Structure 1
Amino acid sequence: MDINSFLKLVEIKTKAASITPFILANLYLFYHYENFNLANFSLFFLSLLAADMGTTAVNNYQDFKRAQKKEGYNYEKHNAIVKYNLSEKTVKKTILILFSAAVIIGLILFFRTDIVVLLIGALSFLVGILYTSGPVPISRTPSGEIFSGFFMGFFISFLAIYIHNLELFNIFRESSKIIIEMIYYDIIKIFIFTLPLILGISNIMLANNICDIEDDLANDRYTLAIYIGKTKSLNLFKHLYYLSYLSIIISVILNILPVYSLLALLTYLIVEKNINTFFKNQSKKETFELAVQNFLIINYATALTLIIALIF
C-alpha cells in the first residue's frame, strides 16, 4: 500500500473532525488553567490520531464488505479499497497496526495519569469500534449523529484538558465503597464550551447521511435522515448551527469564553450562505464539504478569539 492509498483509506482530510476538538480544548486549557504537560499532550495526540484513522479504515472496510449496490454512484471512486484495488489482508493489517498503536500509546498515557483516562479512553475506543462494525454498526442507525458528536466533540475535549488537570474528576475506593468526586461546575463549563464542536460534528454526519439517503436505503443503512425524512433533516441541520451560535453567546455570558469570542458570530453570514447552498442541492461531491467548512469556520473563529484573549 502506497502513501496515497493509505491516506485515502483513512480519509486523512476528515481528521479535522477529531483534531479540532483537541486544538480548541488546549486553547481552553491555556485560557482557564496553568497546568500543561507536554508529554501527555503528545501521547494523547498520537493515540487520538491513530484511533481515528483506524476507525475510518474499519468504516471503509465495512462499507466494502457490506455494500449491496456497487456501481452507479461512484462507489469505485469513493471507496479506497476498490479505487486502489487493495487486498483485504493489507487493509486488515493496516487496521491492526493503527489500533495497536492507539492502544499502546493510550496505555502509556494511562500509566502517566489515572484510571479516569483509562475508563473514558476504553469507552471511547469501544464506541469507535461499534460505530463502524458489529451486527448493527452505530453509523447505520439513527443514533450515529449523537454518538459521533458527543464522543468526538465532548470526550476528546474533556480528556485533552483532563490529562493536564487530574483534579477535575476522581474515582477511588474507600473501604467497601467506590467514591466519585468531580468539580462539576468546571465540567459543565467544558460541556457548554464544546457545544459548537458537538453540534458541528453531528451536522457533518447528518449532511453525509442526507446526501446518501438513496444509496443508504439500497445498502440497508437506516440513518437518522431516513427515519425523519429529508425536509426535517435539513431543518435540523440548519438549527444545529443556530444553537452553536447561541452556545457561544452563553459561554461569553458565563465567562467560559472571553468577550472577544462574540467576534465569532460574524461568521454567521458565511455559514448561512453555505446552509442555503446545501438546502438547494444535497450532493456528496458538490455540497457535502460545506458542512465541514461550517464546522471549521465556527470553531476556528472561536479558536482565534481565544488566541487574541491569551495575547491581550
Structure 2
Amino acid sequence: MSTGTTNDVRASLNERSGFHVWWRLLRPHTLTASFVPVFVGTMFAVIHKEGTIAFGLFAAMLIASILIQAATNMFNEYYDYVHGLDTEESVGIGGTIVRDGIHPKTVLYLALSFFAIAVLLGVYICMLTSWWIALIGSASMLVGYLYTGGPLPIAYTPFGELVAGFFMGPVIIGIAYYIQTEVVTWAVFGISIPVAICIGAIMMANNIRDRVGDETNGRRTLAILLGHEGAVTFLAANFIIVYLLTIIYIITGLLPWWSLLTLLSAVHAQKAVRSFSGKKTPVDMMPAMKGTAQTNTFYGVLLGLSLLISLI
C-alpha cells in the first residue's frame, strides 16, 4: 500500500504517533470487558459481607484481569499478522505492526510480560485465599492465548463469543466474588449471565465488522455463518435477553430495584444495532462497535453501582 493510502487510513481512524502507538496496542476500548466483571463480582460480594471489602484483593484481581485482557489483545495483533489477516488497511486493530512498524516479536514479548505480571498478582491472591484460583486463572490465561494463537484459534471458529463470554463473565465474576467471601453461589452465576452476553456482544460486533475479510481469509465465525443481517438480528436478540433477565432478576429479588438503572444503557444497545444496519465497510461500522462497547461499560458499571447503592 502507498504511504498516501496508509495516511488516509490513519486519518479515518484518528491514529496518532508516539505514546498513542502503544496505547492503541492495548485496545483500551475493550478493557472494560475485564473491569466490569471484577467490579460486578466484587460489589455483589460487598452485599454478602454487609459493606466490607478487601481492597488489596480487589486491586490485585482488577489489575491482573486487565493485564490478561491487554495481553490477549496483543496476541491477537501478533497472530493475525503472522497468519496474514492484518494489513495496513485493517480496521479495529492497534496497527502497531502493520502501520507503525513495531517489530512483531516486541508485541509478543510485551504480551508475555503482561502475563508474567498477572501470574505474580495471582500468586498474591492465592496466598490469601485458595490455590484453586491458580488452576482457574491458568485456564483463563491459556484461553486468552489460544483465542488467536495455537493450531486452531478460537476466534476463527463460531465459538469465540461463547468462550469469551463464559471466561470473562461467570469465571471472572465468580473469582472476584469468591476471593472476597470464600464461597460461590448460584446467584453469582445468575447475575453473571447478562454480563457474559454483553461481553460476547463485543466479540460479535467485531466479527460483524470484519465478516467479509474474515471469510476471505478462511475464518468461520458466527457472523459469517449468519450473514450480516442475521448477525445483527442475533446481536439485537442478545441485548433483549440481557434486559429481560435483568428485569426478571429484579422482580424475583436476585437484584435490587436500583438495578433498574441498567436499563439506561439500552440507549447504547439500540444505537449499536441501528449503526450496523445498511453499513458495508468496516470504517462505517466503527460507530456500531463503539455503541456495543459502551453498552457493556454502562450496563456493567450501573449494575455494580446499583448493588453498592442498595446498601445505603
Same-fold status (TM-score > 0.5): yes
2:22 matches 1:21: no
Alignment partner, residue 225 of structure 1: 223
Q: CA deviation at 1:85?
A: 0.7
Equivalent residue for 1:137, pick from 138, 153, 159 = 153
Structure 1's 12 and 262: CA in aligned 2 closer, same or farther, altered over 3 A? closer
Structure 1's 4 and 166: CA in aligned 2 closer, same or farther, altered over 3 A? same
Q: Distance in 1 between matches of 2:140 and 2:188?
A: 18
Q: CA deviation at 1:264?
A: 2.8
Q: CA deviation at 1:233?
A: 1.2
Per-residue Cα deviation, 1:188-243 (whole angstroms, up to 9, x for no partner): 21122112211111111111101111110122221111122222211110010111
| Structure 1 residue runs without a partner (length 5+) | 169-185
Alignment partner, residue 36 of structure 1: 53
Q: Distance in 2 between matches of 1:308 and 1:218?
A: 49
TM-score norm. by structure 2 comes to 0.86
Q: CA deviation at 1:156?
A: 1.0
Q: After the TM superposition, which parts of structure 1 deviate over 4 Å for at least 4 consecutive aligned residues?
A: 75-78
Q: Distance in 1 between matches of 2:265 and 2:71?
A: 33
Structure 1 residue identity aligned to 2:298: I
Structure 1's 18 and 276: CA in aligned 2 closer, same or farther, altered over 3 A? same
SS at match of 1:142: coil
Alignment partner, residue 287 of structure 1: 288
User: Contact conserved, 1:281 with 1:287, CA < 8 A, in 2?
Assistant: no
User: Contact conserved, 1:260 with 1:309, CA < 8 A, in 2?
Assistant: yes
User: Contact conserved, 1:64 with 1:79, CA < 8 A, in 2?
Assistant: no
Q: Give the 5 Å matches for 1:136-175.
A: 136-168=152-184
Structure 2 residue identity aligned to 1:66: H
User: Which deviates more, 1-10 or 115-124?
Assistant: 1-10
Identity of aligned residues (%): 30
Q: Give the 5 Å matches for 1:9-88.
A: 9-34=25-50, 36-68=53-85, 70=87, 73-74=89-90, 78-88=94-104
Structure 1's 232 and 3: CA in aligned 2 closer, same or farther, altered over 3 A? same
Q: Distance in 2 between matches of 1:64 and 1:3?
A: 21
Q: Distance in 2 between matches of 1:119 and 1:110?
A: 10
RMSD of aligned alpha carbons = 2.2
Structure 1 residue identity aligned to 2:134: L
**Number of equivalent positions:** 292
SS at match of 1:150: helix
Structure 1's 303 and 111: CA in aligned 2 closer, same or farther, altered over 3 A? closer
TM-score norm. by structure 1 comes to 0.86
Per-residue Cα deviation, 1:132-163 (whole angstroms, up to 9, x for no partner): 20011101110000001111111111111111
Q: CA deviation at 1:82?
A: 1.8
